[in-house]
Chains A and B, each alone.
Chain A
Amino acid sequence: MKIELTRQKVHNEFAKKVELISGQNLFACYQCGNCTAGCPISFAMEIGPHEAIRYTLLGLEEEVLGVNTFWLCASCLQCTSRCPKGIDIARVMDALRMVVLRRKERRDHIQISEFPEGFLEKVPQIAFISGFRKFLS
């Protein structure tokens, strides 16, 4: 992907919003990739958590909100625990979710009506409650 850097891009509103929701300073990230290396779910992510941070900093809103990375994050805090710059990456992933889920029109990431048969009986409360918090508007 060709990315043109401009002052506006680096000081973009989208990144500010993500910083506000997550309470994290994205500029502290020096792209070491430690977060992605230790992430138990990065194998299934289209871009790694460190790339999601970079995209956000560069104002690539559509691109970063269009990948599965932050939806797949399990908030396990392994990245948070290992980031040498003290960034709570799990909070950044959640902030990206929030940007989508808080939009005016409902943007549920999962559809309860599409759960396979027997799913509601099988899965424990704890998984539904946390899952609904992470995936429903």
Chain B
Amino acid sequence: MDYLYFPGCTLYTKAKNFDQTARNCSLLLGFELKELPNWTCCGATFPLATDNLMALLPPARILASAREQGTVLTTLCAVCFNVIKRTNRLFQEDGEKRDKINNFIEKNYQGDLRVVHYLEILKQEVGFPQLKERVKRPLTGLRAAPYYGCMLLRPFEEMEFDDKERPTIFEGFLEALGAKVVEFPYKIECCGSFQSVGSPDVATECAYKILGSAMKNGAEVVVSTCPMCTFNIDHKQSDIKQKYLDFKTIPVLYFTQLLGIAMGLDHRTLGFEQNFVDPLPLLKGKGLV
């Protein structure tokens, strides 16, 4: 089956490695990501003010245009997923707002699209046991910490993604790849999000706590589902190092990059040059590249 795919702007620029690895892996797994034509940015944050619908227009347009092409829409970026899925819920549940927005964008979208995250496709459509069988290069001995962040999970009544305090889908995925899952208490804590623009020092502190906790529990690599998380916990490690002199860096990979390694893709196609902390020494040491 093919999936309509909304990449989002960051996956076209600073997170090409996320986009490319997902596309390549899906072909190996027997499905294709069909990019939505003429998409725009989703707005990068679900608007929390309830008295102004303007900020809902971009995701509403994305949904309406996707519905003209198909019935299932998938994303990789956890923030896009959150914005689009929550907007879809609003279309399903609030008829008044739905009509108002439809009138404004001159569409007639009824909320009848299924919005799924790539991880959900791997779990529900491919199946983790089947995925495991297709792994060519098991990540044996690699201690990986699944970093969920917030946007996949919350608000859990609307996202319906996983348990709000003890999610397991990411662990199931890593186990299917043969990795050793590292449990750590900060896996659903926020990385500081857009505070990297508003109060960068605060975001640095959040990242330091998350990475410190992962390392203390034995992680060799932290795995991400979001280009914003990745910026905060990977690229900001240079800021952490400036503040905490004894801080040791740790590679942060997109889950699709790990999938690519496990599926046997050539490491030169995995876009490691966009990762801030170079994962190659670790992966070479483990015999994975």
Taking beta carbons and an 8 Å cutoff, which residues of A are in contact with B?
Answer: 20-23, 40-41, 43-44, 71-72, 74-78, 80-81, 88, 90-91, 94-95, 98, 109-110, 122-135
Contact = CB atoms under 8 A, between A and B. Distances in A.
Given A125-B14, A133-B44, 9 more contacts: A44-B199, A80-B155, A124-B10, A124-B231, A126-B10, A126-B44, A126-B228, A127-B231, A131-B197
Main secondary structure, interface of A, reads helix
A2 to B, nearest CB: 31
A91 B197 contact: no
A80 B154 contact: yes
Interface of B: 8-10, 13-15, 41, 43-45, 47-51, 55, 77, 79, 150, 154-156, 164, 188-190, 192-199, 202, 205-206, 209, 227-228, 231, 235
B150 A123 contact: no
A72 B202 contact: yes
Contacts of B155: 77, 80-81, 88
Contacts of B154: 76-78, 80-81
13 contacts: A41-B190, A77-B150, A78-B189, A88-B48, A88-B155, A95-B48, A123-B231, A124-B231, A126-B8, A129-B9, A129-B43, A129-B44, A130-B79
A91 B205 contact: no
Contact of A98 (B49, B79, B189): B49
Contacts of A98: 49
